[in-house]
Structure 1
């Protein structure tokens, strides 16, 4: 194990073992303090976040961008403080921590028995949303995560999410798509974070006026299984409650090749994500390169921060 990987694994382990023991107000203060220190240091992750936000809010002044990036780092650390503490939250705390608009689109879709693909961007805390689904609504689901290095860190994240009631599959496991399709054909729920392509072979989409790539998986699963494809967005406000919205379903086009249908559906997904991100840019935790214009000079760059 490389020294950097060992340090990362140790830090995550310390977070889960220590932060979850803190009183909630103390954890929130700690998160804000860490966020402000990181923001002032203006490392690569902060600079990339600010660059991404400049595309989302193109008319923002430098002062406004600085405000947004600082708020973005506070939101990002809120995600981590909540995630470290989630295993210690009671069912009542989880239930009280989330409110979702238009939830009937999800529950009605599942009641129809055709399966649902719920696709989300990196907004607010999707782990908390997942825990709310399994704890408050009693809806189990399957998801996919990137296989992190070192393996011990990946194992930590799998154990953490399985502890919240999720079925977790590795992203680079060839059998993942087939398992997801089986879950959907059985009327189940699949939740996928889908605003960043990890394969470098995703679908080109217009996203805030420039080209990015997003994964084809959600659209392909909906086409292959007949499952309902629902975008969802999340955001924080000034309260301890995280808000969310389930957007209208994305229909499978009646005509066109599979690639053409996938392109249309993924663009519709990107448009729904853009609506939520534009409304709450400070809660979009995108500290990595996303647009093709940013990827082209350094296509193999892995130096930016990563959120599992």
Structure 2
């Protein structure tokens, strides 16, 4: 789940305006992109890598692929994801939002069958500063991402970017950023992302950026309780009225389930420090680390 510079990356939709732009940014940051996919442009090159008609054709030609990044519109996302899954790609970063629910369920079912990790849908991607990134996060901006030992998990790309900026401004860097995505049916949960960072030897502290809706933060609290690493969290949506959808498709509260109070109390009971504003995260993190080593 944590991207490294040796991982071989495929870009589905590489020849589009966004695909080409972000492929160039990923290459600048060290991402090892080995091929792209566009059925209409097969046989060409783009961003100095060969373009194939399918993910399976790319694997047959260039060898095993660790990660695929999808710059694919919603109506074509199912076919592109199945192509990568059946081609043996180990992890797919699904940037696409507004994929039909039935298509998302079919993607997840195929991924379980083939043992493929899905990040997303509706994710901004994953970043390992100083090594590589996959997605649309500004990993190339040194004011936002710097190598360090703080792991960051976020459902929101924009809010995750703000948190990473605040960390760097405070003299802290990131071991990894994991954008789990804003879809109501995610392939990777906050708890699973937390477990990956908890097991990562380069990560010494973890930030959870959550939001109202669903139960991912409550479920992650169980993993937080078992961890010995300092954890700081910010949950957005404190002032949202119950029963009203806010922002991401998954951000809807039904009764007390998924409420701000439920998430905050669960994380605090597990030992995490939950702050009121994003600007407090770095100070709370420094304090938590100092307390741990006192």
TM-score normalised over the length of structure 1: 0.30
**More helix by percentage:** 1
**More strand by percentage:** 2
TM-score normalised over the length of structure 2: 0.31
Highest RCO, 1 vs 2 (Cα 8 Å, sep ≥ 6)? 1
